Structure 1
Amino acid sequence: MAPVPDLPSEPQDDIEAYVGLARQAAEERARERGWTTVRSLPPGAIITMEYLVGRINFEVQDDVVHRSWQG
């Protein structure tokens, strides 16, 4: 049997804590906390929905995070 791969782990972080932050502050905090990919998107943006370990997504309107999710 093949060995189990060593899968990367997600940062232990409260995703909802980013809601209400300014875009730049949220992006900086996410990188400091170990997220390898930080993606800020406008509301209604068309995006791929594949799950990427280590990625955090922000929906940003008027330079404020209104929604956040991982993957």
Structure 2
Amino acid sequence: MAPTPTPPAEPDDSPEAYVGLDAEGAERQARERGWSTVRRLAPGAFVTMEYLAGRLNFEVSEGTVQRCWKG
């Protein structure tokens, strides 16, 4: 039987630290800190509920991060 895959490690980073930052700077900072995928979303956008290790989600309104969460 094949071994169970181990998900990639996520950066030791707090999503709350990105709230209030401009979207461009927040995305750059997230990538520098090791997030493999950074996703910008409009407020109220429909998204899948699957958890993807290494992904950071930004809800952006008027160029500013309003909400941020992992997965």
How many residue pairs get aligned? The number is 71
- Partner of 1:53 in structure 2? 53
| TM-score, normalisation: structure 2 | 0.91
Tell me, what secondary structure is at the counterpart of 1:65? strand
- Partner of 2:17 in structure 1? 17
Q: How far does the alpha carbon of each residue in 1:35-65 deviate from its partner, in whole angstroms, 9 at most, with x for none? A: 0000000000011110000000000000000
- Partner of 2:37 in structure 1? 37
- Partner of 1:64 in structure 2? 64
Give, in whole Å, the separation in 2 of the partners of 1:45 and 1:31. 22
Give, in whole Å, the separation in 2 of the partners of 1:4 and 1:38. 26
Fraction of identical pairs, as percent: 62
Give, in whole Å, the separation in 2 of the partners of 1:29 and 1:20. 13
| TM-score, normalisation: structure 1 | 0.91
Tell me, what secondary structure is at the counterpart of 2:28? helix
CA displacement at 1:7 relative to structure 2: 2.9
| CA RMSD in angstroms, aligned pairs only | 1.3
Runs of 5+ unmatched residues, structure 2: none
Runs of 5+ unmatched residues, structure 1: none
